[in-house]
């Protein structure tokens, strides 16, 4: 699959990529405008559109992951993190999926991908762990999962 054309790299134009690169390096919109020979307002528009494209890509990928899900683990608040890998591996076994993760990776995925849902070694907000058909796992806050499920149901009539 081709992801780059003359003016685009993935979902971003070359100009959007350049603006984001410079912004991430700490340049102001004014500095970028001078470097690219365009107005600061144009830089703002380019940056805004780039972030919109990135957000849309993120939503698309998350919905695709839902479509590729073999099983889900719903983790309630109060659950201790060390209990989660066993839940995931058990659910994967039930679904006939060989998970491409060990205890440590599952534990770390939960801590990092749902960091706002974890405090210390306990889950403080519900999370969902997706077990994908290819053996990968993904972790998201339950409210985000519900948002994507609603999008699927509205758009395609089901999950």
3-state class (DSSP) for residue 78? coil
Look at residue 5 in the predicted model and tell me its pLDDT: 63
And the tokens for 2?
């081709």
* CATH class of residue range 8-64: mainly alpha
The reported pLDDT for the residue numbered 129 is: 98
43-58 pLDDT tens trace? 999 999 999 999 999 9
Q: Is 104 left (phi over 0), alpha (psi -120 to 50) or beta?
A: alpha
Of 74, 67, 147, give the one whose Cα is nearest residue 110.
74
pLDDT tens for the chain, residues 1 to 159: 445 567 889 999 999 999 999 999 999 999 999 999 999 999 999 999 999 999 999 999 999 999 999 999 999 999 999 999 999 999 999 999 999 999 999 999 999 999 999 999 999 999 999 999 999 999 999 999 999 999 888 887 654
**pLDDT tens-digit readout, 132-141:** 999 999 999 9
pLDDT of residue 6: 75
Where would I find the H helices in 37-139?
40-67, 84-95, 103-113
What is the token pair recorded at 48? 């805004």
- Those residues whose C-beta lies under 8 Å from the C-beta of residue 88, and which sit 6 or more positions away, are 73, 99, 101, 106, 129, 131, 137
Residue ranges of the domains in the chain? Answer: 8-64, 68-156
């Amino acid at each position: 699959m081709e992801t780059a054309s003359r003016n685009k790299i993935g979902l971003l134009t070359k100009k959007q990529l350049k603006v984001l690169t410079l912004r991430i390096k700490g340049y102001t919109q004014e500095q970028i405008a001078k470097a690219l020979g365009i107005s600061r307002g144009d830089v703002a528009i380019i940056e805004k559109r780039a972030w919109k494209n990135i957000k849309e890509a993120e939503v698309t990928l998350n919905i695709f992951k839902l479509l590729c899900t073999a099983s889900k683990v719903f983790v309630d608040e109060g659950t201790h993190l060390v209990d989660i890998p066993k839940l995931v591996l058990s659910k994967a076994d039930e679904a006939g999926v060989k998970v491409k993760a060990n205890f440590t990776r599952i534990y770390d995925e939960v801590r990092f991908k749902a960091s706002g849902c974890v405090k210390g070694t306990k889950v403080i907000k519900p999370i969902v762990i997706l077990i994908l058909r290819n053996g990968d796992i993904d972790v998201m806050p339950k409210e985000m999962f519900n948002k994507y499920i609603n999008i699927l149901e509205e758009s395609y009539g089901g999950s």
